[in-house]
């Protein structure tokens, strides 16, 4: 019997990249997907965007608005194809060029929106889905009743090599601090905040002069492969053990004005013009722009041994 997996996700580009890869894993069954407002608690749309502007530098805010604004267009176009042009949706899915919600619609996977994952309404939805595993990338703290539902627990995908760079904007802060590697961690979610053990990690090499945007895409495509391999490991009955590493614990919040300047002094921008143009054209439906140039997707030829692979570092009992 296939492993039943339920996804809790922010409604944004990075979560879409990571979780879309699970649709192609034959060992699992996606029994539901639920979205919440992106990074802004229960606020969405303009109110949520303005709430972020109060917390961060205006340049980083414009960067987020650009990325997620065009992603919304891509999401709408993908959903239209799933509802009205199923042949196009099938073609797009075969090339991983479709939004997660649209792919779920095409595959008849239940999709929900919830402003509060701890509500009684969503509690009922999750119980009815009967998941074996819940995987999350959300901005909400889940209560005990939610965490008790999946029999194999809840995993969270975080865009850093934990315990370093807890918090927000890990790729930005890593580049600002001159790190040579960025990465992703999957950890078990426990009731006590930030106390769950890290169980899988992957890493990518920092490219000198490359933008935050491109590093973010590379890291999240690698995270998607890591997550697929991790759930395959679980589905096959393989060991899933805590990782012990010597990385220094750190926490970072929204980028401040001086920190954006530090990033530029390191030789990195937020998003250069050509990368931004390719992304915008892709979201607007000009698919060959990214199909012909896969540099934003595959991470190039300088992969580290950990990139796109499980780094479980199993310990002898």
Tens of pLDDT, residues 167-205? 999 999 999 999 999 999 999 999 887 778 999 999 999
The tens digit of pLDDT for each residue in 283-301 reads 665 544 443 344 444 443 3
Lowest-pLDDT choice from 262-266, 277-281, 309-313: 309-313
pLDDT (0 to 100) of residue 293: 43
Distance in angstroms (rounded) separating the CA atoms of residues 146 and 260:
38
pLDDT (0 to 100) of residue 142: 93
Entry pTM: 0.86
Task: Pick the closest to residue 40 from 28, 26, 54 (CA basis).
Answer: 54
Percent of the chain with pLDDT over 90: 52
What would the mean pLDDT of 292-313 be, rounded to a whole number?
41
pLDDT at 124 over 70: yes
- 3-state class (DSSP) for residue 1: coil
All domains of the chain in start order, with CATH? 3-298 (3.40.50.12230)
Query: What does pLDDT average to over the chain?
Result: 83
Q: Which residue has the higher pLDDT, 92 or 217?
A: 217
List helix spans (H) across the chain: 13-20, 45-53, 58-84, 86-94, 100-106, 120-129, 144-147, 170-176, 212-235, 257-265, 273-283, 288-291, 295-298
**pLDDT tier at 24, thresholds 50, 70, 90:** confident
Lowest-pLDDT choice from 68-72, 195-199, 247-251: 68-72
Counting Cβ atoms within 10 Å, is residue 299 exposed (0-12), middle (13-18) or buried (19+)?
buried
**pLDDT tier at 71, thresholds 50, 70, 90:** confident
**pLDDT tier at 130, thresholds 50, 70, 90:** very high
How far is CA 12 from each of CA 15, 136, 310, rounded to the nearest angstrom?
6, 13, 25
**Contact present, 279 and 70 (Cβ < 8 Å):** yes
The tens digit of pLDDT for each residue in 133-160 reads 999 998 888 999 999 999 999 999 999 9
pLDDT (0 to 100) of residue 39: 52
pLDDT (0 to 100) of residue 316: 31
Q: Which residue has the higher pLDDT, 2 or 303?
A: 2
């Amino acid at each position: 019997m296939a492993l039943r997996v339920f996804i809790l996700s922010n409604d944004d580009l990075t979560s879409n990249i990571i979780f879309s890869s699970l649709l192609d894993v034959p060992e699992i069954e996606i029994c539901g997907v639920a979205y919440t407002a992106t990074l802004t608690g229960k606020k969405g749309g303009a109110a949520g965007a303005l709430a972020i502007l109060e917390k961060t530098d205006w340049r980083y805010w414009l960067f987020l608005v650009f990325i997620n604004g065009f992603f919304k267009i891509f999401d709408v176009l993908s959903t239209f194809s799933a509802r009205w042009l199923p042949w196009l949706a099938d073609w797009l899915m075969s090339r991983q060029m479709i939004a997660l919600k649209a792919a779920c619609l095409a595959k008849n996977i239940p999709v929900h929106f919830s402003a509060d994952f701890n509500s009684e309404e969503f509690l009922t939805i999750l119980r009815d889905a009967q998941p074996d595993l819940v995987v999350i990338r959300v901005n909400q703290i889940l209560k005990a009743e939610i965490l008790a539902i999946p029999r194999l627990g809840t995993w969270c995908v975080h865009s850093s090599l934990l315990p370093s760079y807890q918090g927000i904007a890990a790729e930005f802060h890593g580049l600002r601090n001159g790190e040579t590697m960025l990465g992703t961690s999957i950890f078990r979610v426990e009731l006590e905040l930030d106390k769950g053990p890290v169980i899988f990690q992957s890493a990518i090499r920092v490219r000198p002069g490359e933008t935050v945007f491109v590093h973010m895409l590379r890291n999240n495509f690698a995270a998607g492969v890591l997550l697929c391999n991790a759930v395959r490991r679980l589905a096959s009955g393989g060991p899933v053990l805590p990782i012990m590493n010597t990385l220094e614990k750190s926490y970072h919040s929204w980028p401040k004005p001086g920190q954006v300047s530090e990033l530029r002094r390191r030789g990195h921008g937020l998003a250069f013009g050509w990368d931004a143009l390719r992304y915008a054209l892709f979201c607007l439906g000009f698919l060959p722009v990214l199909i012909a140039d896969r540099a934003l997707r595959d991470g190039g030829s300088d992969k580290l041994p950990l990139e796109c692979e499980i780094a479980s570092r199993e310990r002898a009992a």
